[in-house]
């Protein structure tokens, strides 16, 4: 399942964005949650970290995370000021206490033009870390 999902993520294959498409059952997110070996979110923005920390389930991704028992691997990427903001720090701590694992962020050039903490880990390293879960 993990390899299939990774292939979907890096290919142009259809992926799930909405819960209420006419051609899918409304409970499709539960099936995905039940069958997941791992939930990997990369990039994990400040917004998604806040939603996950506070139990929001207002889209396919957050609904899957709330419904799954699979490990959660988060690869944060955001402006450094956002990463060190007390709200983000608190959200990360909540997620860690619930068992979420984090990879990154690292220091480097950001999309906003700043060079600081907040850069997404290299994709090949994210994939390698995700594949470690398959071996468990």
Give the model confidence (pLDDT) of 12-61 as tens digits.
344 454 445 444 445 677 888 888 899 999 999 999 999 999 999 988 89
Quote the pLDDT of residue 97: 98
CATH assignment at residue 42: 3.40.50.1950
Out of 1, 87, 112, 128, pick the active-site residue.
Answer: 112
Separation of alpha carbons 35 and 33, rounded Å = 6
DSSP 3-41: HHHHHHHHSSS-----S--TTS-TTHHHHHHHH-S-EEE
> Which residues, listed in sequence order, are joined to residue 76 by a DSSP beta bridge?
44
Domain count, the chain: 1
Quote the pLDDT of residue 22: 44
Q: Is 127 helix (H, G, I), strand (E, B) or coil?
A: helix
Residue 91 belongs to what domain range? 2-134
103: tokens are: 């990879």
Reply yes or no on whether 7 is catalytic.
no
Over the stretch 94-134, which tens digit does the pLDDT of each residue have?
999 999 999 999 999 998 899 999 999 999 999 999 999 87
Q: Name, in order, each residue with C-beta under 8 angstroms of 124's C-beta and a sequence gap of 6 or more.
A: none
This prediction has a pTM of: 0.81
**Which residue in this structure is represented by tokens 């929001």?**
56
């Amino acid at each position: 399942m993990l390899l299939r999902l990774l292939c979907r993520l890096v290919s142009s294959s259809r992926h799930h964005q909405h819960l209420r498409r006419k051609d899918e059952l409304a409970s499709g997110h539960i099936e995905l949650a039940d069958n997941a070996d791992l939930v990997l979110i990369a990039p994990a923005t400040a917004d998604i970290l806040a939603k996950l920390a506070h139990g929001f389930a207002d889209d396919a991704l957050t609904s899957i995370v709330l419904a799954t028992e699979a490990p959660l691997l988060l690869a944060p990427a955001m402006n450094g000021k956002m990463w060190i903001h007390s709200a983000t720090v608190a959200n990360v701590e909540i997620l860690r206490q619930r068992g979420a694992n984090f990879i990154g962020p690292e220091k480097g050039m950001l999309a906003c033009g700043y060079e600081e903490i907040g850069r997404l880990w290299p994709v090949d390293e994210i994939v390698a870390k995700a594949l470690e879960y398959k071996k468990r």
